[in-house]
Amino acid sequence: MGRGSGFGKTILFGEHFVVHGVPGIASAVDSAADATVKKAQKGINVTDERSGATGYAEKKKLQQLESIERMLTTMGMNPKDVALDIWLGGNLPGFSGLGASAASSVAIARAIAAEFNLDLSDERINDIAYEAEKAYAGNPSGIDNTAATFGGLIWFKKNLAGGSNMIEQLSIREPVEIVICNTGIVANTKAMVAGVAERKKQNPTKYDAIFGQAEELAHKGRHAMKEFDLRQVGKLMDENHYLLQEIEVSCKELDYLVDLAREMGAFGAKMTGGGGGGCMLSLTPGKELQEAVAEAMENEGFKVLKTKMGIRKV
């Protein structure tokens, strides 16, 4: 039996914009998807035991199967000739916006490699997971699978010409508490990404200006993290949320959670990931603030993940 894991992630700056070549910053969280793979008699059978949003596994089932077929093809196998029993679990909740699909793709790719005795580098696993992500995201930037494969805090810039993407590990003085809160709405990342591309085509002037601001924000965010100026990081996250509202990927539930986090004293808050549901991310340095923000959300019936950004080795 082969085993593998992939990190969950949260995007601090630049979701959606990264698809179009703007740099972004993602951080792995200290939760991961785990997979086991065993050669079987017939078909590809997935047992998905990840905890999280009700309906997540069912809604993503078809995309999940397509993603596994894509992985096998990229690994040089014919999906029709391969029979596998795949189990998925781990402590990464199946919330939309936590890179759950990428984390599971990395976990499964590693487990398949182990089951077939393939010695694959992290770079190769990342490429395979990128192909798998296309089933979930249509035209993914690659930021999710990169964070899921390598972990840490990552500066990412997609190479739109098709060559290697820019991937840089960033460091921060110490990990910082964050609260991620699930709206409970399972989002369709593929549709959200396609919607942005369509609106960008319809309104090039408006969108070019917003994309320029997003690029500036990513650079400022990187600088503020290097300086460990957390007030500034929070302020920039707020600005990033505003840009995401402008490109119409937020929703009233996300805006509500963002406002609640800020009211409770979070240094900054934004949606994270594909939007249209999925998760809100807030910067809550210190255990006390983290607890206060998380509790306010839990009291309203939302599910939260209390974790840290900038953990080097998760």
Query: Is 16 one of the binding residues for ligand PMV (CB under 6 A)?
Result: yes
Query: Is 97 one of the binding residues for ligand PMV (CB under 6 A)?
Result: yes
Query: Is 25 one of the binding residues for ligand PMV (CB under 6 A)?
Result: no
Least distance to ligand PMV from the beta carbon of 102, Å?
7
Q: What CA–CA distance (Å, rounded) separates 15 from 22?
A: 9
Which token pair is 66? 């397509």
Q: Is 140 or 268 the residue whose CB approaches ligand PMV more closely?
A: 140
Residue 260, C-beta contacts closer than 8 angstroms, at least 6 positions apart: 296, 297, 300
List the one residue out of 197, 186, 185 whose CA is nearest residue 139: 197
In order, the DSSP letters of 79-139 are: GGG--EEEEEEESS---TTTTHHHHHHHHHHHHHHHHTT----HHHHHHHHHHHHHHHHSS
Query: Is 137 one of the binding residues for ligand PMV (CB under 6 A)?
Result: yes
Cα 280 to Cα 97, 210, 254, 260, 288: the distances in Å are 8, 21, 6, 11, 19
In the list 34, 131, 144, 177, the residue contacting ligand PMV (rule: CB under 6 A) is: 144
* Number of residues engaging ligand PMV in binding (CB under 6 A): 19
In the list 125, 193, 210, 217, the residue contacting ligand PMV (rule: CB under 6 A) is: 193
Least distance to ligand PMV from the beta carbon of 98, Å?
6
Question: Are 44 and 80 in contact, with CB atoms under 8 Å apart?
Answer: no
The arrangement of strands across the sheet holding 279-283 comes to 268-272, 279-283, 176-182, 303-309
Nearest residue to ligand PMV by CB is: 273
Query: Is 277 one of the binding residues for ligand PMV (CB under 6 A)?
Result: no
In the list 146, 165, 189, 250, the residue contacting ligand PMV (rule: CB under 6 A) is: 189
Least distance to ligand PMV from the beta carbon of 248, Å?
13
Q: Is 221 or 273 the residue whose CB approaches ligand PMV more closely?
A: 273
Q: Is 2 or 99 the residue whose CB approaches ligand PMV more closely?
A: 99
In the list 31, 64, 126, 141, the residue contacting ligand PMV (rule: CB under 6 A) is: 141
Pairing of strands 166-170, 84-90: unpaired
Q: Is 36 or 165 the residue whose CB approaches ligand PMV more closely?
A: 165
**Helix (H) / strand (E) containing 258:** helix 252-263
* Residue listed under structure tokens 């596998």: 84
Least distance to ligand PMV from the beta carbon of 201, Å?
17
Q: What CA–CA distance (Å, rounded) separates 170 from 151?
A: 11
* Interacting residues with ligand PMV (CB under 6 A): 15-16, 18-19, 96-99, 101, 137, 140-141, 143-144, 189, 193, 273-274, 278
